[in-house]
Structure 1
Amino acid sequence: MRMPGRVVVASAMALALGVALSGCAGADHEADPTVSPPSVTASASPTPVFSSDAEALKAATEAFKKFLSVADAIGRDGGAHPERIRALVTAEGYEYEVEEAKRFSDANAHGVGSTRVNNTKLQSVQQEGNKVVVRIYVCEDLREVDVVDASGNSIVDPSRSDFVAYVVEMEGTSAQNLVLSSSKYWSEGGVCEVP
């Protein structure tokens, strides 16, 4: 089970899913010299959710691993009880996960194995008020992951790569409540390169 934008191991059911969420980019604006900027007091600034980039990367990585563990379990159970993932994704993501679980169930397919996170790198941390968004590059190791039909035959495209890179976005108000808000295939490389 994966968020919109993910390449799903159940390739016979949904190998190439469209990108549903994309990052936001702010436009560059020149300051108007006739307008004074609003004054900002120390009390108006929220306390940073993370004290360092390393702390943000660790929290986002752990939250994403938790998501993968539950998504893999739902897949191994043939799509049964997708509500297990509700607390780990946004509302939009939950709708997608329920649909994906139904695809597994309808195809009488189930997952085998577990997805591993091989490597992560921090892309960015943005905080607005108490909400924080952490974007990380993730290299997933799919070597032990398969999806099989009712007869036990693999339905995964044999040309699927063992290592796949994504840009993952986690959001929340603390390190303990980060949820998956988007996950897009990352073709630019770097995170899955083997030295």
Structure 2
Amino acid sequence: MAAVALLAGCTPDPVPTPTPTAAFASEEEAFAAAEATYRAYNDALNQVDPENPETFEATYFYTSGDFQASDKENFSNLHARGYSIQGAARVRSFFGTSFDQTLGYVDATVCVDVSGVDVIDADGQSVVNPERPDIYAIDTTFKVESARVLIDHAARTEDSACDVS
């Protein structure tokens, strides 16, 4: 009996199984985090200098998936062609549209004002299409990964939410 009591005292307590916790307490919290990510990404994007590839890195902190792959390709092309960027894009509005806690995705429409942005070629000429709209509506998917919200996919849309009145 004494041996059983001694052994029982030496048995380690069972290790508790971690319970997954929700990344966000509410849809509003998820939308706010996604908006903060997009605004930080936009700020980093406004600092990109195609002549200096090191400036591209700051944008990658906020991105993943095909969105990041597309940025890498676009930045590489701008650099290879000797283009420069003048001006800054501005996030005009952000509309959260859905949040999937289980899969860890947030969807939103972001309205970005690019009216003050120009892309200049090596000869000093603008390469921006003169018919480019001043404001883009962008359907954006964010991926929640290790308590971070990353821009995972984006596509321009004809969303009327960005119409200027």
Partner SS state of residue 88, structure 1: coil
Query: Structure 2 unaligned runs (5+)?
Result: 1-16
**Which residue does 1:184 correspond to in 2?**
155
| TM-aligned CA distance change 1:147 to 1:186, over 3 Å | same
TM-score (norm 1): 0.67
1:143 aligns with 2:115: yes
Which protein is richer in strand relative to its size? 2
Name the CA distance, whole Å, in 1 between partners of 2:67 and 2:134: 25
For residues 48-67 of structure 1, the aligned pairs below 5 Å read 48-67=22-41
Please tell me whether the aligned partners of residues 71 and 85 of structure 1 are also in contact (alpha carbons under 8 angstroms).
yes
Gaps of 5+ in 1: 1-42
Indicate conservation of the 8 Å contact 1:110/1:147, yes or no: yes
Provide the secondary structure at the position in 1 that maps to 2:160. coil
Mapping 1:78-89, distance limit 5 Å: 78=51, 80-81=53-54, 82-89=56-63
Aligned to 1:68: 42
**Aligned residues of 2:65 and 2:153 also touching (Cα < 8 A):** no
* Counterpart for residue 123 of structure 1: 97
- The number of aligned residues is 148
Pairwise CA distance, 1:44: 9.5
Q: Is this contact kept in 2: 1:79–1:102, CA < 8 A?
A: no
Bigger Rg, structure 1 or 2? 2
RMSD between aligned residues: 2.3
Do the aligned residues in 2 keep the contact of 1:78 with 1:111 (CA within 8 Å)? no
Report if the CA contact (8 A) 1:49-1:173 is conserved. no
CA distance in 1, matches of 2:50, 2:81: 13
More helix by share: 2
Distance in 2 between residues matched to 1:99 and 1:79, nearest whole Å: 15
Shift of 1:91: 4.6
Q: Which amino acid aligns with 1:132?
A: G
